[in-house]
Amino acid sequence: MGRIYLDYAATTPTHPDVLKAMLPYFNEDFGNPSTICSYGQEAKGEIGNARTQIANLIGSRDEEIIFTSGGTEADNFAIKGIAFANESKGNHIITSSIEHPAVLETCRFLQKNGFNISFIPVDKQGLVDPDGVRKAITKNTILISIMHANNEIGTIEPIAEISKVAKKAGVYFHTDAIQTAGHIPIDVNELGVDLLSISAHKLYGPKGIGALYIKKGTSLATFMHGGEQEQGRRAGTENVPGIVGFGKAAELIQQEIDDESKRLIYLRDLLLTGILERINHSRLNGHPTMRLPNNANISIDFAEGESMILNLDLEGICAATGSACSSRNLEPSHVLLATGLSQEQAHGSLRFSLGKWTTEDEIKRVLDVLPRIVARLRAMSPLLKNQSKI
């Protein structure tokens, strides 16, 4: 039995056609785009093509796309860039309590450096309330950063509504769209955002390349100092193979976005309903309908997340948990806690994230294996000793 990968939210394999498109740019066409000889000019042309492919994916103009070293850098660039360019106007930034660490930790860094950050709460389903954002705005607010969809629980935030609030107050609005780009349709104009982060390795492109959409006319403090690359906004010799791969991945995923999201919603719901039916004391995390097509996040009482993951791994199934023992920090997932889960519930969470190569047979195999693992763990669980209910 082959291994089953259900952790596409963590990273995706590079599409074979993407890899093929990248390979020549490591040796044959290795030119530095900043040089004027034909080698360099060819590389420069390819970067231009990739920029168009990415602009098409999100409905922007080509020149509004700036390549970065990944999603983390795009988030850092957006937030620090706005913060340092607008210090004279104010020092207040609004974000949510469920952001990815690339946003949360950037905001905490700014907090230590004189900025005032509001981490606004979410409801039980992980939704940010646009009215809550409105109420948090002060005369010092310069930026609002709310993610498009959450990477752990899959909740899709009401970005278009929040952007109206931001626009009305004259505040810049950034969204981390790293989980949504290529997975649900995105149009930066419909979303009404000034800045939007994306990353290639979450959409079947390579790791180490991302992009920041910067709406025309938005001034950002320079983040990476050096050469004049990327319109002088991001110095450093371009990652040409990465950029070419990112462009190709964007083009490929855009062609199948509608069919693929329908297919994934069907498989996701098969998995979700199957688990909730077969395992008592299990619950869906996140929003029942406003959620990513590929995300199934479940809390299973009286079973520890890390133990479930290790047991699934022994059966060849790779998934993720919001339980903390798998990370350095002892706290369980900040996202699950923010939705009101107790420490125990958060420790008993599993995230399955599906993707391009997920099959119905794989989902059926999980539905066969997981209930047995849970039953075995519960039989040994000290948490269960005091419970007569099960």
The footprint of ligand PLP on residues 138-157 (CB under 6 A) is: 147, 151
Residue 151 or 311: the one with the smaller Cβ distance to ligand PLP is 151
Q: How many CB atoms lie within 10 A of CB 78?
A: 31
Least distance from C-beta 47 to ligand PLP, angstroms? 19
Least distance from C-beta 76 to ligand PLP, angstroms? 9
Catalytic annotation present for 37: no
Residue 210 or 371: the one with the smaller Cβ distance to ligand PLP is 210
Residue 248 or 351: the one with the smaller Cβ distance to ligand PLP is 351
37, 107, 318, 325: the active-site residue: 325
Q: How far apart are alpha carbons 241 and 234 in whole angstroms?
A: 17
**Residue 48 near residue 282 (C-beta atoms within 8 A):** no
Q: How far apart are alpha carbons 92 and 142 in whole angstroms?
A: 6
# of chain residues touching ligand PLP (CB under 6 A): 15
Determine which residue in the list 15, 80, 92, 100 makes contact with ligand PLP, applying CB under 6 A.
100
**Residue 225 near residue 72 (C-beta atoms within 8 A):** no
Nearest residue to ligand PLP by CB is 71
Looking at 43-51, 65-73, 228-236, 251-259, which segment touches ligand PLP (CB under 6 A)?
A: 65-73
Looking at 83-91, 176-184, 354-362, 373-381, which segment touches ligand PLP (CB under 6 A)?
A: 176-184
Looking at 83-91, 157-165, 172-180, 276-284, which segment touches ligand PLP (CB under 6 A)?
A: 172-180
Residue 152 or 194: the one with the smaller Cβ distance to ligand PLP is 152
**Residue 298 near residue 370 (C-beta atoms within 8 A):** no
Q: How far apart are alpha carbons 273 and 135 in whole angstroms?
A: 38
C-alpha atoms less than 13 angstroms from C-alpha of 77 in its C-beta half-sphere: 30
The DSSP code for 333 is -
68 near ligand PLP, judged by CB under 6 A: no
Strands 210-214 and 65-68: antiparallel
Residue 210 or 286: the one with the smaller Cβ distance to ligand PLP is 210
Determine which residue in the list 66, 93, 102, 240 makes contact with ligand PLP, applying CB under 6 A.
102
Determine which residue in the list 80, 174, 183, 202 makes contact with ligand PLP, applying CB under 6 A.
202
Least distance from C-beta 72 to ligand PLP, angstroms? 3
Looking at 29-37, 38-46, 197-205, 373-381, which segment touches ligand PLP (CB under 6 A)?
A: 197-205
196: left (phi over 0), alpha (psi -120 to 50) or beta: beta
* Nearby residues of 283 by Cβ (< 8 Å), 6 or more positions away: 276, 298, 299, 345
Determine which residue in the list 42, 64, 157, 176 makes contact with ligand PLP, applying CB under 6 A.
176
Residue 202 or 334: the one with the smaller Cβ distance to ligand PLP is 202
33 near ligand PLP, judged by CB under 6 A: no
* Nearby residues of 179 by Cβ (< 8 Å), 6 or more positions away: 9, 147, 148, 149, 150, 151, 154, 202, 292
The footprint of ligand PLP on residues 285-304 (CB under 6 A) is: none
Cα 302 to its chain centre, rounded Å, is: 29
**Residue 96 near residue 155 (C-beta atoms within 8 A):** no
Give counts: helices (H), strands (E), the chain: 13, 12
C-alpha atoms less than 13 angstroms from C-alpha of 68 in its C-beta half-sphere: 26
Write out the two tokens for 39. Answer: 């080698």
179 near ligand PLP, judged by CB under 6 A: yes
Write out the two tokens for 203. Answer: 């959409």
Write out the two tokens for 359. Answer: 């099959």
Determine which residue in the list 132, 206, 210, 293 makes contact with ligand PLP, applying CB under 6 A.
210
Binding residues (CB under 6 A) for ligand PLP: these are 70-72, 75, 100, 102, 147, 151, 176, 178-179, 199, 201-202, 210
- What is the set of active-site residues? 325
